[in-house]
Amino acid sequence: MTLPPLLRFILLRLALAVPTLLAISFLVFFAAYLSPADPVDILLGQRAAPEAKARTRHEWGLDRPPMVRYADYVTKIVTKGDFGRSYQTREPITDIIKRGLPNTAALAMVSLIVSLAVGIPLGILAAVNANKWIDRTAMSIAMVGVAVPSFVLGPILVLWLAVQKG
């Protein structure tokens, strides 16, 4: 039995999501490990006693090899949904995510609505006026929107729309 192409595509994407997430978590985990900042200094301050630093390093599991810590990290995420604790606030990462999720979802929905409200009419106009100035303008705007990172385009649009346009 062959699967319909769309279902096969969706299943392939879901299957590829697992190694992609593992690779991203691996890179982020080890980038944090390789950073010059010491988590114990973040927790206790740089002037803490060496005994306190050693005790904290053991309590947080920072005295174990990085690969063991990474394996424990991934295992806890998969089995318990536990992302660990923040070094700065010492609260569970899950609570931090839950606190930010409503605003993130609202922002994503507004972004989707604006994208659809602008993109669909612009696409229709471009299709009706193929190879004319409006088509080329719409294509240029779309290319800039795709090519320029949001952290660059966002502040530029804020300055242009909020500051200059009042």
Instruction: Please write the tens of the pLDDT for every residue from 76-95.
Output: 999 999 999 998 888 999 99
pLDDT of residue 166: 60
Cβ-based neighbours of 72, under 8 Å, separated by 6 or more: 61, 64
Taking the mean position of all CA atoms in its chain, how far away is CA 155?
A: 19
Cα angle 4-9-10, degrees, rounded to a multiple of 5: 100
pTM over 0.75, yes/no: no
CA distance 99 to 119: 31
pLDDT band at 150 (very low <50, low <70, confident <90, very high): confident
Q: Are residues 56 and 43 in contact, defined by beta-carbon separation less than 8 angstroms?
A: yes
Lowest mean pLDDT among 2-16, 109-123, 150-164: 150-164
CA distance 159 to 157: 5
pLDDT band at 165 (very low <50, low <70, confident <90, very high): low
pLDDT band at 163 (very low <50, low <70, confident <90, very high): confident
